């Protein structure tokens, strides 16, 4: 859900949100998207260096997923131009925590299967992106049909999906303890 939330916001909802909610021009909303993208490049190396190791990595993954859910919820309900510009930039940086999931997947499988496991994980992330983009489109359409602002519904649904993803991750089996 983490990567899906980042790509859904960056690739599908950010521009229309800033234009329709706040009257930004295409250039101004594009500038915010560019800054979000540039900041997101710093996230993976940052979190790669901060990796707490196998003993607490999964707690970090869950914690940062819950933090993103909170940011999306605040983003959904504040309708503040400051929040609507700052939240995507912060989300861009924090999205780098997803690099920890690669280390988690790698630790979960024997060396002979690591390449295949990482490939399946990557493809699953892209399936998550497609699913989230489709689902948020359905949510936006339903919200508009009921006279609600679609962006509030979309961002709130992303927050709920992140929270559900964090819960599901805690229920999934982790890497074997001897891998630590």
Total-model pTM: 0.93
Q: Mean pLDDT, the chain, as a whole number?
A: 95
| Residues 56-91 pLDDT 10s | 999 999 999 999 999 999 999 999 999 999 999 999
| Residues 20-70 pLDDT 10s | 999 999 999 999 999 999 999 999 999 999 999 999 999 999 999 999 999
Residue 174 is given by DSSP the state -
Tell whether domain 2-172 is in CATH 1.20.1250.20: yes
Residue 175's pLDDT is what? 80
Sign for the CA dihedral angle at 19, 24, 26, 28 comes to negative
Residue 180's pLDDT is what? 47
Kindly give, in sequence order, each residue whose CB lies less than 8 Å from that of residue 83, ignoring residues fewer than 6 positions away: 74, 75
Answer with the residue of higher pLDDT: 173 or 62. Answer: 62
Average pLDDT of span 141-161:
97
Kindly give, in sequence order, each residue whose CB lies less than 8 Å from that of residue 85, ignoring residues fewer than 6 positions away: 18, 32
**Nearest C-alpha neighbor of 47 from the set 107, 106, 94:** 94
Average pLDDT of span 96-123:
94
In order, the DSSP letters of 63-81 are: HHHHHHHHHHHHHHHH--H
């Amino acid at each position: 859900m983490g990567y899906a939330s980042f790509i859904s916001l960056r690739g599908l909802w950010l521009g229309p949100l800033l234009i329709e909610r706040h009257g930004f021009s295409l250039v101004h909303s594009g500038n915010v998207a560019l800054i979000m993208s540039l900041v997101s490049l710093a996230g993976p190396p940052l979190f790669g260096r901060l990796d707490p190791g196998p003993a607490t990595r999964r707690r970090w993954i869950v914690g940062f997923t819950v933090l993103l859910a909170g940011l999306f919820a605040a983003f959904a309900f504040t309708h503040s131009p400051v929040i609507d510009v700052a939240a995507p930039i912060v989300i861009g940086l924090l999205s780098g925590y997803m690099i920890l999931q690669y280390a988690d997947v790698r630790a979960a499988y024997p060396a002979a299967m690591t390449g295949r496991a990482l490939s399946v994980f990557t493809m699953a992330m892209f399936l998550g992106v497609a699913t989230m983009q489709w689902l948020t489109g359905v949510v936006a359409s339903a919200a508009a049909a009921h006279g609600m602002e679609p962006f509030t519904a979309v961002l709130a649904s992303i927050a709920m999906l992140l929270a559900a993803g964090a819960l599901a991750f805690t229920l999934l089996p982790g890497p074997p303890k001897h891998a630590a």
